[in-house]
Structure formats: C-alpha cells, structure tokens
C-alpha cells in the first residue's frame, strides 16, 4: 500500500478514533522505495501474476486532468509494470482502492455527486492510455460495499459520514445513513459501468485486455433452521453481494432491497440499465470469512439506516453458541471458514449466470508482537493451512462447474490496515518496521514456490 498526502491527511484527522494503536507515522510498506526489491520477492514465490493498485492522486494530484499530472508518479507505475513483465509476472491493476482524491470530496462531495463519474472516467482513461499496452487485466473499483458502509453508514472510514445520533463511534459531524450509502453505491455502479464501456469501445480490441471489479464475498449461513433466519441470510447476501451483482447481471437492484428500502433506493433510467447490465468480463471476490444471518423483526422505532434495512443481523455464533470458525489472531473480523468460499462460489454460479471469477483477495493474520523473537514471528503454519484449505475449496467448486480463473493471496507483505493499523500481519513476507521496512520471508513464502512446483504437495480434506 502506498499512502499519499491526500489520504494521509484524513487518516491523521481520524486516527485516534478509527485506527488501533497510536500510529504517528503511516507509511504502509513503501513500495515506492522498494519496487525492484519487491518484484524480486514476488518472483521468488514462483507465482505468475501480481495485483497492485494505482493511487489516483499519485498521477493526478488534484484529481482531475485540468489540475495537471504528476510525471514522477506516472513513471513509478511504468517502472513497476515493466519490472514485473521483465520478470515474467502478469500485472493485475486496480484503478481505485479506497483512496479517492480529497480535492474532489471538498469540491463536490466525492462519491455523493454524479460529477465523480466523469472524473473517474477521465482518470481511468489516462491509465488505459499510459499503461494499457502492457496491462491486460483491470479492476475498476475494489470493494465498493466497504466504501459505502464504512464511509457513509457507520462513518468509520473516509469521509467519516453517518447520521447523528447513530454514528458507530458517535463522532460523525455530517451525513445521512438512511440515504447516502445508496447514493454512493449508485454512483459507483455508474462510474464502474461507464469506465467498462469506455474500455470496450476505445481500448479493449486494440489492447486485448479484460476488465471487472472486486467485491466483498462473505457467505451467510442461517443463524438457526427457522424459515425466518434462512430468509434473513438470503437478505444479507442481497444487501451485500447482490447490491452490486444484480445490477451488472440483470440491470436492477435485488427485489428484497427494492421492497425494504423503497424510495430511498435510487432508480436506474433505461439508459443506465443498458449501461450497467453486462458491464464486466470477470468478477473479483475478496473472501476472508463468513457469518450467520439472524432475522430481526421490524419495529416502529427502528431507524431507516442501511445497517438496519435488511431486517437481519450478522452473527459470529449460531443459535447454539457455536462460532462459524476459529478466530484469527490479530484480526477483528476473520473467523476462518474455508467451506464458505465454496458455497459462495456455487451460489454465484447459480444466481449470477456463472461469471468468470478471480479470488482477488484471501488471507489470514497473526498479531503484531515486537516482543516475540524473529524466529517465532517468521513461523506461520496457520497461513499455509489457510491457503491450502481455501485452494481445496476452490478446486471443489471448479469440479462443480464454477468458472474460477485465479487466486491472489492477501498480502505479499505485512501492511498498514485501515482501522487496525499495524496490529494484524497478513504478509507472506515479514516487514520489520524498526529496520527500514526490511522484508524477510516467512515460512509460508518459502513453502509456496515448492508447493507450486509440486515438491511439497499436501492433501487436504474439508
């Protein structure tokens, strides 16, 4: 992750309330200074592809073409792409990953305004023009669900908007959790589809690439065997995954959302339906965990906020008090449930016309603990087990006809996580934050190339 001034300012403003630990310095893992070294680290794993993100303000500091370009930023990504290709590694590039220009938020409200669609189109076109001769795999937006829910319903991520009262940590200064999440997603859908249309019309035939986006993929099991909880689990899937998949597959929002949200849910015009339907070549799924869906009876005093609209709650334990999976060390939200990935993939095949799918994120954590010796910190058998069990579930899904084309592990290096700071370590490589961000391979990084060569085959059962 590369954090830049436009994002870092907001990180600093909300730091004390939103980020675990008192991190005075937010420097990610500094790919900018370590790019050649990091490409060597990718190559050492024996993988053939690498996913990374372009920071919008690194190439357009003011967020718009009229605001001027930053040639140094453009050169950085050119050099990274060239270095990857020179080493036989295919780049998969995300255009927007949680870091829109702060200037556009100040100018017109960012995601809340339709002007965002045009500015995102201009930025994306610049990326296609500069990098598209070598980049053949594009992800428009990463996890639009998180952008909307965390930034505009709970208010725990930029721009920190939510209803008053009702803010998750009671510090939002503005916002409307009843309408803004839906407006934001509507504009993100239109922005995504507009960029896909642009790419297909001006670049795809000549450059020979493909384009899609990456979505949060958590499966939802019923909290109990009751018909109410079974229906609640389906509603949560509608309000999280279906919110994005149904428009791009069928041209409309899920029926349950239209029924429950009603007039607060924006409507697509005929032209917009035509634009969004079919606006993908593939879908990226970011899978870490699953939950139980529990029915919540409607109440007259229940606020009309996004978080309450499904009339369902996400639970970590079922009616019998059994967790859906073991808690990952260092993570607030990961309960390991690999079989949920297989169920989710089969669900997508059945529900959304068997799309081409990449697992664009999957991984597990251990807690940052500087008191442990390095020898202990580099031992991560739980990560090897996580990779194996999820790959096994993907294999089982493929046998059932699911069109899965690739798997990306999160993350290459220990990194800075929004909301959790440096507490969780996701990396195949250990990052020493006290020694110039030195990268050191963990056991998983040494194991993976052997596994890919078939030298360390392990048979895993569900």
Q: How much is the pTM? A: 0.94
Bridge partners for 283 per DSSP: 213, 357
Clarify whether 143 is annotated catalytic. Answer: yes
Q: Which one of 83, 180, 240, 361 is the catalytic residue?
A: 361
Q: Which one of 143, 221, 246, 272 is the catalytic residue?
A: 143
Confidence of residue 34 (pLDDT cuts 50, 70, 90): confident
List C-alpha distances in Å: 280 to 8, 116, 173: 32, 20, 36
Do the Cβ atoms of 281 and 211 come closer than 8 Å?
yes
For 436, other C-beta atoms within 10 Å of its C-beta total: 10
Q: In this structure, which topology does domain 30-408 adopt according to CATH?
A: TIM Barrel (3.20.20)
Confidence of residue 316 (pLDDT cuts 50, 70, 90): very high
Q: Who wins on pLDDT, 395 or 421?
A: 395
pLDDT of the residue at 165: 63
List C-alpha distances in Å: 54 to 143, 209, 271, 442: 15, 17, 30, 27
Confidence of residue 2 (pLDDT cuts 50, 70, 90): very low
Rounded to whole angstroms, the Cα distance separating 63 from 76 reads 18
Rounded to whole angstroms, the Cα distance separating 385 from 462 reads 12
* Model pLDDT for residues 424-456, shown as the tens digit of each residue: 999 999 999 888 899 999 999 999 999 999 987
pLDDT of the residue at 15: 45
Q: Mean of the per-residue pLDDT values for the chain?
A: 92
For 259, other C-beta atoms within 10 Å of its C-beta total: 10
User: How many angstroms separate the first and last alpha carbons of the chain?
Assistant: 33
Q: Say yes or no to pLDDT of 249 above 90.
A: yes
pLDDT of the residue at 369: 82
Segment among 160-174, 305-319, 386-400 with least mean pLDDT: 160-174
Rounded to whole angstroms, the Cα distance separating 245 from 185 reads 12
Clarify whether 361 is annotated catalytic. Answer: yes
Q: Which residues contact 435 (CB under 8 A, 6 or more apart)?
A: none
List C-alpha distances in Å: 373 to 368, 412, 423, 446: 12, 21, 16, 19
Rounded to whole angstroms, the Cα distance separating 436 from 2 reads 15
């Amino acid at each position: 992750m590369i954090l830049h001034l436009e994002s870092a300012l907001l990180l600093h403003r909300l730091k004390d309330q939103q980020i675990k630990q008192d991190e005075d310095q937010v420097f990610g893992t500094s790919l900018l200074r370590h790019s050649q070294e990091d490409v060597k680290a990718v190559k050492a794993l024996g993988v053939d592809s690498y996913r990374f993100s372009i920071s919008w303000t690194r190439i357009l500091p003011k967020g718009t073409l009229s605001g001027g370009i930053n040639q140094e930023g453009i050169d950085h990504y050119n050099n990274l792409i060239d270095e990857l290709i020179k080493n036989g590694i295919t780049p998969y590039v995300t255009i927007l990953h949680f870091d829109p220009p702060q200037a556009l938020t100040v100018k017109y409200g960012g995601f809340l305004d339709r002007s965002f669609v045009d500015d995102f189109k201009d930025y994306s076109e610049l990326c296609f023009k500069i990098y598209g001769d070598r980049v053949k795999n594009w992800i428009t937006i990463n996890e639009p669900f998180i952008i909307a829910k965390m930034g505009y319903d709970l208010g725990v991520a930029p721009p920190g908007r939510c209803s008053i009262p009702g803010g998750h940590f009671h510090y939002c200064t503005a916002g409307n959790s009843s309408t803004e999440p839906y407006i934001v997603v509507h504009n993100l859908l239109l922005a995504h589809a507009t960029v896909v249309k642009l790419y297909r019309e001006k670049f795809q035939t000549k450059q020979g690439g493909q384009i899609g986006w990456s979505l949060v993929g958590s499966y939802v099991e019923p909290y109990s065997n009751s018909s109410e909880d079974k229906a609640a689990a389906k509603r949560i899937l509608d309000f999280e995954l279906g919110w994005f998949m149904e428009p791009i597959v069928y041209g409309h929002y899920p029926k349950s959302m239209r029924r429950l949200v009603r007039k607060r849910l924006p409507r697509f015009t005929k032209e917009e339906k035509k634009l969004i339907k079919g606006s993908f070549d593939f879908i990226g799924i970011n899978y870490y965990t699953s939950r139980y869906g529990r029915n919540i009876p409607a109440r007259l005093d229940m606020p009309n906020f996004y978080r309450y609209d499904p009339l369902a709650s996400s639970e970590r334990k079922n009616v019998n008090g059994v967790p859906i999976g073991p808690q990952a060390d260092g993570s607030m939200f990961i309960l390991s449930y690999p079989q949920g990935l297989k169920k989710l993939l089969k669900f997508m095949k059945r529900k959304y016309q068997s799309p081409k799918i990449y697992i664009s994120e999957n991984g597990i954590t251990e807690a940052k603990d500087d008191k442990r010796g390095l020898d202990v910190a580099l031992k991560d058998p739980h990560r090897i087990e996580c990779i194996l069990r999820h790959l096994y579930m993907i294999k089982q899904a493929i046998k059932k006809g699911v069109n899965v084309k690739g798997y990306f592990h999160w993350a290459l290096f220990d990194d800075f996580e929004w909301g959790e700071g440096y507490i969780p370590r996701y990396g195949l490589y250990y990052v020493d934050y006290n020694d110039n961000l030195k990268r050191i391979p963990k056991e998983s990084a040494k194991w993976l190339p052997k596994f890919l060569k078939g030298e360390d085959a392990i048979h895993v059962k569900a």
